[in-house]
Amino acid sequence: MISLVLLVVVVVLTTTLYTVGRYFHDSKKLRRFPSPSFAAFSPLWLMYHSWRARQYKAVQAAHEKYGPVVRISPNHVSFTAPGAYKDIYGFGNSIIKDDMYFHMSGGNPSMATATDKHMHAEKRRSLAHVFSAKEITAMEPRVQEMVAKLLRDIHIKSAGGKVSDLDPYETYPDGTFDIRPWLNMLTYDAISAMFFSNTYGMLDKGVDLCPSRSASGATKWVHGMDSFHSGGAFNTLFSHLPLAWNNVGRRIFRFAHGASALSNFAGMSRHQVHTRLRAQPAEPDLFSRLPTAPTEKRAVPMSFDELVAECATMLDAGNDTTQTALTNCIYHLAAHPIVQTKLRNILLEEVPPTSQPIASYQELKHIAYLRAVLDESFRCRPPVARGLPRRTTAAGAVIAGHCIPAGVTISAPIWNVHHNAELFPEPDSFVPERWMPNDNSNSNSVPPTSTSSSTNYAYRAPDPSDNYTYYTTPQEAHNLKTHVLPFHLGPRACIGRNLAYMELSIVIAALLLGFEWELAGGRGGGEGHTPALETVERFNCNVKELFVKVKGREGMVF
């Protein structure tokens, strides 16, 4: 017993002395940057806020207090100057993904977690054609089929019913229900239909139960949403630590719920890959385009473990970031009824009656206001709000005018860029009109000549009594193109951007053509305001819940 106590004391003292000594030695000259609390001494500050599921908020508060450059961990510097994002994530530099991604990969990196540039480039070449325009068009009917099931389920829930005996979600007497899990079940079913031709069937059951296969081949039923969310939170938490401590932490907490959830999510991907390899579908799916056999571009096919890793990434991006974007967009539309009505009227005019409520992407992709609503929702509430960590290499880097030596983790929080008042007037207001081109045919599309709220269209919300048009200055139009980055920037930008826009466009159009939306519980703030919406940041910044009331539109059959 005495030996154990002595060992603990020695470890604590050694760690403390090393931490303090490293801070004052300052070999990388990072003491010049301010830091909150004990962040400069230990990664535990960042881990604490990650554990509380509010990392981006803590970093945002640190920047508000200390300025545009903040040290948020002993070896991690965060930047919010507008030019920093391009400096860190753009093309033409030697900066690589941080070791955090390798820690998250569990030794089996996917395209998203590969830190080596050559490995990433090879993986991206192997996957790029999977997301070509031709492949996306071929997958559209599968998305439409899942959207039809979603509309049916929403109709049932709004009437107080149950989708099946397994449906655990309550509808309150006034018709209020939480739309978030239903959008999550949609995205799980849609991505599994597109990728594996084998959906999880969540929308049919009204619950997120799905099979998970262990490495030994044992199969069990798990809750897909919790597996990803709890597993992702656990994975992110320990990945802040250096590799040795990361491994120790995971070992100590291997029986925690998050650890089993992470294993279950990997098993969900493993089950789909195992099943798909044994059964060739009648029609090609996205999995058909993966190099499971030697090709001219890739002599060595993907191994089973590599397929599992890549498909887990597709399940991540294809379900969670998409459902978060959908939930955020419905929130904004329900909170801003004038915008909702305007978009619906445009859809009714542009989409042929025979295609309502589930239109094709070909019918939707040229509707500018629909794209403006999606992009403004991305700007206001990006699915990933934190700064994605990168690592400087031997050459070092100059970030927003600051010389950063080799081996330093750097990041630029996406939330801060999107909400920078220097880039976007009234950055916290949801105004899709800022994305629309100024057109002389619009009566109010002239530059404001006064700073009063009655005439300065850039600083007030739409008034239903007038023909409102937001005036976007040339500088803001440029900033929207260069500084709204929900799919990120540079060689590591999201490869599934076009697939996401296809799915988001079809779903949002169908939800507006099929139903009228209202925030429940008096949570709406009226036009020009963004009501509070609670988020939970595991890695992605998810909506905790979104209670709504919906009313089916006349003539729509579900």
Extract the annotated binding site for heme.
494
Dist. CA 347–CA 511, nearest whole Å = 11
> Is 351 in contact with 59 (CB distance < 8 Å)?
no
Beta bridge partners of 537: 541
Dist. CA 487–CA 479, nearest whole Å = 16
| Residues contacting residue 172 through CB under 8 Å, at least 6 positions apart | none
* Rounded alpha-carbon distances, angstroms, from residue 386 to 10, 143, 359, 410, 411: 36, 29, 34, 12, 9
Question: How many beta carbons lie within 10 A of that of residue 171, not counting itself?
Answer: 18
| 315: nearest Cα among 440, 227, 209, 408 | 227
HSE-CB for 421 with a 13 A CA cutoff: 4
> Is 470 in contact with 331 (CB distance < 8 Å)?
no
Helix H segments across 31-75?
44-51, 55-66
Our CA angle for 458, 439, 501, nearest 5°, is 80
Characterize the bridge pairing of strands 219-223 and 409-411.
unpaired
Omega within 30 of 0 (cis) for the link into 447: no
> Is 496 in contact with 318 (CB distance < 8 Å)?
yes
List, as own/partner pairs, every contact residues 350-354 make where C-beta atoms lie below 8 angstroms and the sequence separation is at least 24, other chains included. Answer: 351/509, 351/513
| Tokens 């959008």 found at | 183
Characterize the bridge pairing of strands 76-79 and 409-411.
parallel
Binding residues: 494
Structure-block tokens of residue 245: 């401590």
Beta strands in 439-528 (DSSP E): 515-519
Dist. CA 253–CA 237, nearest whole Å = 12
Dist. CA 58–CA 91, nearest whole Å = 29
> Is 180 in contact with 550 (CB distance < 8 Å)?
no
Q: What is the SS3 string spanning 256-316?
A: CHHHHHHHHHHHHHHHHHHHHHHCCCCCCCHHHHCCCCCCCCCCCCCCHHHHHHHHHHHHH
